[in-house]
Amino acid sequence: MMKRSHSGVFWDAVRCPLPRGMSPDEIHKRIELYLHEGEEDITGQTYIWVYVDETDKEGPWVGSYLTDKTWESRIYFLPGGADRYKRRCRMLTDILLWRRDFHPPSLLLVVSDKVKNDFLFSYRLTMIARTAYRVFLAAPDENYQPDTDARWPESLFVRLFSFADGKYC
């Protein structure tokens, strides 16, 4: 009997913005579609946590996203603040809690920039990968333009870093 493989996506929307004008439900559907059609054999649910700077009153998450506790799209918008270190601490805490509910071979995808330069954060992700989770990093390049990219999120996920292998795949 094959285990269901769920996916957890942890997204730093301050360093890697989501497309403006796209509803959370549409964002979730696009990400889930990409993961289910990929090579990772995702058979379960896709859960997405998005970390935003709650002090930014111009962001697409302004409104009820941070105050409502349920969303039909299964995207959880969470306050992460403007400080990168604090966002990563919050993200790492949520990842560790997620692991309690979703066991290997579940997929963990972190979307952020400069993660490999953060020794503690990348070390923790490497340790999670060593426990049979499939752990990847999607980092935007300098040309990342989610608002104008018709292939989003596929274009962002073309080059993923595997924490199990220690290289890009």
Instruction: Give the whole-angstrom CA distance, residue 108 versus residue 8.
Output: 5
Q: Is 136 exposed, middle or buried (0-12, 13-18, 19+ CB in 10 A)?
A: buried
> Nearest-CA neighbor of 157 among 126, 133, 143, 136?
136
> Do 12 and 111 touch, CB atoms closer than 8 A?
yes
Nearest residue to 95 (alpha-carbon basis) of 70, 115, 114? 115
Whether the model pTM is above 0.85: yes
**pLDDT by position in tens, the chain (length 169):** 345 689 999 999 998 999 988 888 899 999 999 888 866 666 788 999 999 888 776 665 555 556 655 555 678 888 888 899 999 999 999 999 999 999 999 999 999 998 988 999 999 999 999 999 999 999 998 889 998 888 999 999 988 999 999 999 8
